Amino acid sequence: MKILNRRTFLAGTGVAASVLAMPAISFGQNKPRVVVIGGGAGGATAARYIAKDSKGAIDVTLIEASKQYYSCFFSNLYLGGFRDYASIGHTYEGLAINHKINVIHDWALSVDRTAKVVKLASGAVVPYDKLVLSPGIDMKYESVSGYSVDAQDTMPHGWKSGSQVQLIKSQVENMKEGGTFIMVPPPNPYRCPPGPYERVSMIAHILKQKNPTAKILVLDQKPKFSKQALFQEGWENHYSGMVEWIGSDFHGGIKNVNPETLEIETESETFKADAASVVPAQKAGSIANTAGVTDGDWAPIVPATMASKADPNVYVLGDASVASSMPKSGFSANSQAKVAANAIRGELTGSKVFTPRFANTCWSLIATNDGVKVGANYSAGKEKIEVVDKFISKTGEDTAVRKMTYEESEGWYSGITTDMFS
Ligand SMILES: Cc1cc2nc3c(=O)[nH]c(=O)nc-3n(C[C@H](O)[C@H](O)[C@H](O)COP(=O)(O)OP(=O)(O)OC[C@H]3O[C@@H](n4cnc5c(N)ncnc54)[C@H](O)[C@@H]3O)c2cc1C
């Protein structure tokens, strides 16, 4: 367990031994305490907004397993050679130093909602008045026959960022001349609906330069996909003859994958890959289930506040939540975090609570300066988060519009990561 706060950062000593020795960690005993589990798009934003806007009136603790957050968003641009790996990595110093958030690098093992405490892998116990869960996703490895934790070494899913994405990059770059890369995108619902198809585009971008006779075969677990017409037009324009997409209606479903031979068996045919990525079905990060706030794979929430339907003192953000028509995206998680932060501050300090509004845009890069987007604004209905208005790029758009859309996405990345970590 490592605790980062303003004092330890400034002293440069890392962890105070006296704190480590304590079985129960309790910061700011006289203030209301918010504990956030998961320092990604939802959790880091929520922690930052609660601490920043309450101006010290609320004690905020962020529990995050990793010292460095590698964003899934723009991991495809890293794959395509548009960004280096370091540019998608972020640390938590800003939150500790600028907002006095107690950052604990540890694994949250369980939540006792009656005692209102979080138990950490190190054995420490952290009490809360309000708990925010934004643990992202876990894989349902068993959803694809033949796939497993071990199989991800040869058929990486790359659906959590970090080393899995590095592995895909190395496999693509080292694939034999004229080889076949097979991608198996996940069934709905999953993190980042256009993500697999942007990934295919970025792999095609690399192969076109380094291995132009190579092929990409997409064996989808769905009959259709997000921004389909835009991606298929882009693949034809930029990578003609290289990318073939086969929907589940045509191949009949994935029957089995073999991580040793790289064979992928569908109901109609068996395909052999030279490199492959298999993305299984997904569910809320395990702590949501352990905390008892999931119903099936995901955690239902009250739209106006993002509070769990199972417990008014627990809030669930981002991919782990059932946010109705909002896609599971970093933009959505960041937007939901601000709604939750506002509601939590209101409850704990009596501050004014604004009408909740949500927004999302998912940008995708198809080729150099060819960016497309889909998005919507949302309001909080009684039962569901509801669409207010929506937009999507058009096929056949002018190249100047596509370039502008790509540039917009670069601005968004820099904006959201500042909003999460500064
Ligand atoms: C290829 C790809 C491309 C994408 N592109 C985009 C994009 O362009 N735009 C966009 O908006 N979104 C994009 N996304 C989706 C986006 O990454 C996710 O929707 C977003 O990260 C969700 O935020 P979150 O807070 O729910 O989870 P995360 O950001 O994954 O954060 C969860 C954090 O919780 C931590 N954690 C989990 N459990 C525990 C525990 N028990 N104890 C301690 N820590 C824990 C994890 O270490 C992790 O850091 C993309 C995703 C992928 C896979």
Residue 81, number of CB atoms within 10 A of its CB:
15
Helix, strand, or coil here: 134? coil
Q: At 132, which amino acid appears? A: V
Distance 190 CA to ligand 1 centre (A): 11
Q: How confident is the model over 26-77, as pLDDT tens digits? A: 665 689 999 999 999 999 999 999 999 999 999 999 999 999 999 999 999 9
Q: Which atom of ligand 1 is nearest to the CA of 44?
A: 25
What pLDDT, in 10s, does the model give residues 234-252? 999 999 999 999 999 999 9
Looking from the CA of residue 287, the nearest atom of ligand 1 is 41
**Rounded average pLDDT over 381-400:** 96
197-235 as b/e: b if 16+ CB within 10 A: bbbbbbbbbbbeeebeebbbbbbbbbeebbbeebbebbb
For ligand 1, mutation pick of 73, 316, 416 (most atoms within 8 Å of CB):
73
- State how far the Cα of 287 lies from the Cα of 277, in Å rounded to an integer: 26
- Distance from residue 288's CA to the centre of ligand 1 (Å): 14
Residue nearest ligand 1's atom 8 by CA: 73
Counting from 1 in the atom list of ligand 1, the atom nearest the Cα of 71 is 17
pLDDT of 356 above 90: yes
CATH 3.40.50.2000 applies to domain 140-281: no
385 phi/psi in degrees, rounded to 5: -80, 125
Q: Is residue 196 pLDDT above 80, yes or no?
A: yes
CA of 109 to the centre of ligand 1 (A): 19
How far apart CA 191 and CA 173 sit, in angstroms, is 25
In the sheet that holds 263-266, the strands lie side by side as 254-258, 263-266, 270-272
Cis peptide before 189 (omega within 30 of 0): yes
Q: Distance (Å, rounded) from C-alpha 339 to C-alpha 357? A: 7
Cα-to-centroid distance, 69 and ligand 1 (Å): 9
Atom of ligand 1 nearest to the CA of 42: 25
Atom of ligand 1 nearest to the CA of 76: 1
Q: Say if residue 296 is exposed, middle or buried (CB neighbours under 10 Å; 0-12, 13-18, 19+).
A: exposed
- Mention every residue, 6+ apart, whose C-beta is less than 8 A from residue 90: 68, 69, 70, 71, 417, 420, 421
Least reliable range by pLDDT among 3-17, 192-206, 217-231, 278-292: 3-17
Return the pLDDT at 19: 37
Cβ neighbours of residue 170 under 8 Å, at least 6 residues apart? none
CATH 2.60.120.10 is right for the domain spanning 2-136+285-353: no
Whose alpha carbon is nearest atom 23 of ligand 1? Answer: 41
Give the pLDDT mean for 107-124: 98
What are the backbone angles phi and psi of residue 388, rounded to the nearest 5°?
A: -95, -50
Distance 263 CA to ligand 1 centre (A): 29
Give me the pLDDT at residue 244, please. Answer: 98
Cα–Cα distance for residue pair 172/78, rounded to 1 Å:
13
Q: Angle CA(103)–CA(107)–CA(112) in degrees, nearest 5?
A: 95
| Torsional sign, CA 274, 280, 285, 291 | negative
**Average confidence score pLDDT of the chain:** 94
* Ligand 1 atom nearest to CA at 329: 19
Q: How far apart are CA 78 and CA 88, in angstroms?
A: 8
Average pLDDT on 136-140 reads 98
Rounded Cα distance between 354 and 95, Å, is 24
Q: Is the dihedral of CA 82, 84, 87, 90 positive or negative?
A: positive
Probe target for ligand 1 pocket from 133, 192, 414, 420, with the most ligand atoms within 8 Å of CB: 192
Residue owning tokens 């509601």: 343
Predicted confidence at residue 30, as pLDDT, reads: 85
In whole angstroms, what is the distance from residue 342 CA to residue 356 CA?
9
Count of residues making up the chain: 422
Q: Which two tokens stand for residue 244?
A: 């073939």
Residue 41 CA, ligand 1 centroid: distance in Å: 6
**Maximum pairwise Cα distance, the chain:** 66
Tokens of residue 54, six digits: 């309450």
Report how far ligand 1's centroid is from the alpha carbon of 413 (Å). 14
Q: What gap in Å lies between CA 177 and CA 90, rounded to an integer?
A: 35
Q: Ligand 1 centroid to 23 CA: how many Å?
A: 30
Measured from CB, residues less than 6 Å from any atom of ligand 1 are 37-43, 63-66, 69, 72-73, 75-76, 107-108, 134-136, 159, 191-192, 195, 199, 285, 287, 318-320, 328-331, 333, 362-363
Instruction: Provide the residue ranges of all domains of the chain, joining segments of one domain with +.
Output: 2-136+285-353, 140-281
Residue 136 CA to ligand 1 centre (angstroms): 5
Query: ∠ at Cα 197 (194, 203), nearest 5°?
Result: 140
| Same fold yes or no, 2-136+285-353 and 140-281 | yes
**Cβ–Cβ < 8 Å for 81, 206:** yes
SS3 45: helix
Helices then strands (H, E): number in the chain? 12, 26
Reported pTM: 0.94
Full 3-state SS string of 30-70: CCCEEEEECCCHHHHHHHHHHHHHHCCCCEEEEECCCCCEE
Best residue for ligand 1 mutational test, from 48, 70, 72, 298 (most atoms within 8 Å of Cβ): 72
Please give the pLDDT value at position 1.
57
Residue 88 Cα to ligand 1 midpoint, Å, equals 12
- DSSP element (H, E) containing 98: helix 93-99
Residue 416 CA: which ligand 1 atom is closest? 11
C-alpha dihedral (44, 46, 50, 53), degrees to nearest 10: 90
Q: Return the pLDDT at 363.
A: 98
Q: Is the pLDDT of residue 99 over 60?
A: yes
